[in-house]
Structure 1
Amino acid sequence: MLPIAVLPVAALLLRFGSADLLDLPFVKASGGAIFGGLPLLFAVGIAVGLAKDHNGTAGVAGVIAHLIILEGAKTITPDLKMGVLSGIIAGIMAGYLYNNFKDTKLPDWLGFFGGKRFVPVVTALCSIFMAFIVGHGFPAIGAAINDIGMWMIQSGEPGLFVYGAMNRLLIPFGLHHILNSIVRFMFGSYTDESGAEIIGDQLRFFAGDPEAGAFMTGCYVVMMFGLPAVCLAFYVTAKKERRPALVGMLVSIALTSSLQGSQSLLSSCSCSLRQFFSLYTLSLWGHHT
């Protein structure tokens, strides 16, 4: 969740820096830099998140793994495009190696490289083998992901239904973030005005692809307004003596949900005014009943 937490800030910078708002290229470039570096952010965030003590050494190992895997695999498959998957693989591997080798003891003459310092070393060695595997194996995996993504994009409502259903089913296990990352950062491709190829539904939308953004619609207006309205209903209907104990938790939940939802609403404006007022009416109805 660490890399995902920064996405609202990146989206706000990207949107407010656009020519049709504040027209500040350096602000827009700042937001774009975060999205451009997502694979590296995922490598660090996942590695630190999986480390038992959340030590920064795991993050360093994640960066090393990401760089070696990506650049090594490209020597085998020059046109390799992995999106955030390279960072996910690197982060998982670095976190696993940290947990297993952080207490490694070496002979005295190699003592400097013992303990946590051994983790980046063993990660670099393992990353070489992973780069070989990825370079030879990912083209087939990437083609399969692309085929699934193109079907979901081109099929319209059936594809969106499949995505939405899988998203809801995976939420109890916390695995919906993996699905969201694949959809938003690996589905579809778009070539912008500068000739750069952009991959992923969310990144393509920010780059101006008119066919992107379908997978970001629907839930954000609920996140921004619906769930905060539910929190308000909980507070209003709670017993007066219980309200002080609830207000801190409910405000935190409402604020987090609203901020996470605002990144997409400000960037895509995909929800219509009619949808907003329908949701607002429903929230009022729920309050009175």
Structure 2
Amino acid sequence: MGLFGLVIPLIWPVFALGINGIGRIINGAGDFGPMIFGTGERLLLPFGLQHILVALIRFTEAGGTMEVCGHDVSGALTIFQAQLSCPTTHGFSESATRFLSQGKMPAFLGGLPGAALAMYHCARPENRHKIKGLLISGVIACVVGGTTEPIEFLFLFVAPVLYFIHAVLTGLGFTVMAVLGVTIGNTKVKYTSLRIEA
């Protein structure tokens, strides 16, 4: 194990260059950047690796850099939160929020509940009562809490090819919302997400 600890620092820079390269590709892809991000996030989800891509976009220059209230801020979520707390900012940056929650809305509020309904209708009539509770609780977790894993993992095991199509369509949702100029930003309800203007 000690040898492993000595070797990793020597090979890690190669992985770091690859991760940074992905960030540059996403940031430089214009309106297709959100699609690459959204599709990549969904494809990495079954392996638990989506957090690497999400953190890369939310907290580094790959998510954008902007001056907010006299300070240079990097990362899509960091820019959004800085604009949220800046009293002189009106509206939010489309270039930063295009990587945040609004791209997930079409899939979370429409696509995955539709997939759950399709799974219910495709089940044999004698088995529908067995899966109804699982599907309903998965849809509630998805729509109310934004936790998609119950439906997506069920979807992945039932129809892996359709899961890939779902990942591409989720990425397309990111692009459509970016092209339309939607700036929802972060949808987690925390004290930093609430802004009351007098």
TM-score (norm 2): 0.47
Higher relative contact order (CA closer than 8 Å, sequence separation 6+): 2
Choose 1 or 2 for highest CA Rg.
1
